Amino acid sequence: MEETIIEMREPTPTFKTRRCKLLVLAIAAALTYAPFAAALGAWYLYGLFYGVALLALSYLLIGIVRAKLRNSAVPPAQQELSYSDREIAAWFVSRELFCR
C-alpha cells in the first residue's frame, strides 16, 4: 500500500502589533475600495462618462496589483488557492515588510 504525503498548507499570518494590523487593514482597504473612490472622484470632477471609464480602468489596474502582490508574497505551493484582499495584504506585510 502506498502512503500519500499531503503537503501542509502554511497558515495566513496573523499579527500582534497594532502597526502591522493597521498596515494590513490599509492595504486591504486600498485593494478593495480604490476603484470606487477613484470613480466617484472622477465622476464628481469630470462627469459620469469619465467616472465609469475610470472605474473600468481602475478595476483592471487593481487586479494587476492584486495579482503581483499575491505572486510575490504567497508561498509558491499555495498560489493557486483563492485569497481575499485581507489575506493577500497579510501575506504581503508578513513577507515583504517584515512585520511580525
pLDDT value at position 81?
Answer: 86
- pLDDT, one tens digit per residue, over 60-97 is 999 999 999 999 999 888 888 889 999 999 999 999 88
Name the DSSP letter for residue 98: -
Alpha carbons 42 and 39: distance in angstroms, whole number: 5
Greatest Cα pair distance in the chain:
69
pTM of the complete model: 0.85
- pLDDT, one tens digit per residue, over 32-62 is 999 999 999 999 999 999 999 999 999 999 9
Long-range contacts of 93-100 (CB under 8 A, 24+ apart): 93/13, 93/15, 93/20, 93/23, 93/24, 93/27, 94/13, 94/15, 96/72, 97/23, 99/15, 99/17, 99/19, 99/20, 99/23, 100/15, 100/16, 100/17, 100/20
Mean pLDDT computed over 5-31 = 89
Of 91 and 7, which is predicted with more confidence?
91
pLDDT value at position 6?
Answer: 63
Give the CA dihedral 28, 87, 80, 98, nearest 10 degrees.
100
Place of cell 506585510: 93
pLDDT value at position 26?
Answer: 96
Place of cell 476603484: 35
